[in-house]
Copies of this chain bind each other. A is one copy, B any other.
Amino acid sequence: MSAKQPKSGNKGKKTPEDAPGAVWFRAEKTSRTGPQLSHERIVATAVELLDRDGVQKLSMRRLAERLGAHATSLYWHVATKDDLLDLALDAVFAELDLPGEHSAAWQDDIEAFMTGLRSVLLRHPWAAALAGSRPLMGPSALRASEFTYTALTTGGFEGVHLSSAAATLTHYVLGSASSEAVWRERSDEAATRSAVDAHLRARIDEYPTLAGHFPLLDEDDWDAHFHRGMRLLLAGLASSEARG
């Protein structure tokens, strides 16, 4: 059905470009529907669509349409949709701006990593949940890991304690960013929150401690919430026990 009404195609239309002599005025080889497909353009557009509509709405067909191409053409450039998601995710990590040189206090580097990663993840609300569900092995993710490993090494972490500390920090950033993103994505955060709050208060026998403590009724608290968790982690890192 939808194939019968060409939306962005150009077959069958008589355009000035078809007129005799038009060869001379036509652009050389480049496709008429925009720039050619390329690995980079596909990934960049995927990120754009993911930002706008979320991960559930991204399809190869919608992506292709936006690129002025057919869905099947994408498969010349990327193997699967899953690969594309990995590429889009690493593109987000590529936005992470880490200090060029390591600072005197290694804790400052850890803070820079954590707050920096959090803010790129919040710029792309689909990214944190995705990052939590697959290995992060892209070059930009590895670059970020390298930075963290170096800072922690300066802090005295070695061997297995090094990887455990790094993983713990990363899990915290991904987890808190994901949870923040998912709450903020719903337009009615405040309404949902007070509904949950009411629900808990109505069952105060079951949830005596939880009711009344349901977090973050104020929107601006997200930032402070993140920083409190980060301080807890930094305090944990400071403890010699963590180093073995």
State the A residues within 8 Å of B (CB): 129, 132-135, 137, 142-143, 145-146, 149-150, 153, 159-165, 167-168, 170-172, 174-176, 178-179, 182-183, 196, 200, 206-210, 213-216, 221, 224-225, 228-229, 231-239, 241-242
The answer on a CB contact under 8 Å between B182 and A175 is: no
Contact A164 B239 (CB under 8 A): no
Assembled-state Cα–Cα distance A234/B215 (Å): 21
18 A-B pairs whose Cβ atoms sit less than 8 Å apart in the complex? A132-B174, A133-B178, A142-B206, A143-B206, A145-B207, A150-B208, A160-B224, A163-B213, A163-B216, A163-B225, A164-B225, A168-B172, A174-B175, A228-B242, A232-B241, A235-B241, A236-B236, A239-B239
Contact of A207 among B129, B146, B174, B176 (CB under 8 A): B146
Q: How far is the CB of A88 from chain B (nearest CB, A)?
A: 16
Residues of B within 8 A of A135 (CB): 179, 182-183
| A242 cross-chain contacts in B, Cβ below 8 A | 228, 231-232, 235
Question: In the complex, are the beta carbons of A163 and B207 less than 8 A apart?
Answer: no
**Known A132-B175, A132-B179; further 12 A-B contacts with Cβ < 8 A:** A132-B178, A133-B182, A145-B210, A161-B228, A171-B176, A171-B179, A174-B175, A231-B241, A231-B242, A233-B233, A235-B236, A238-B239
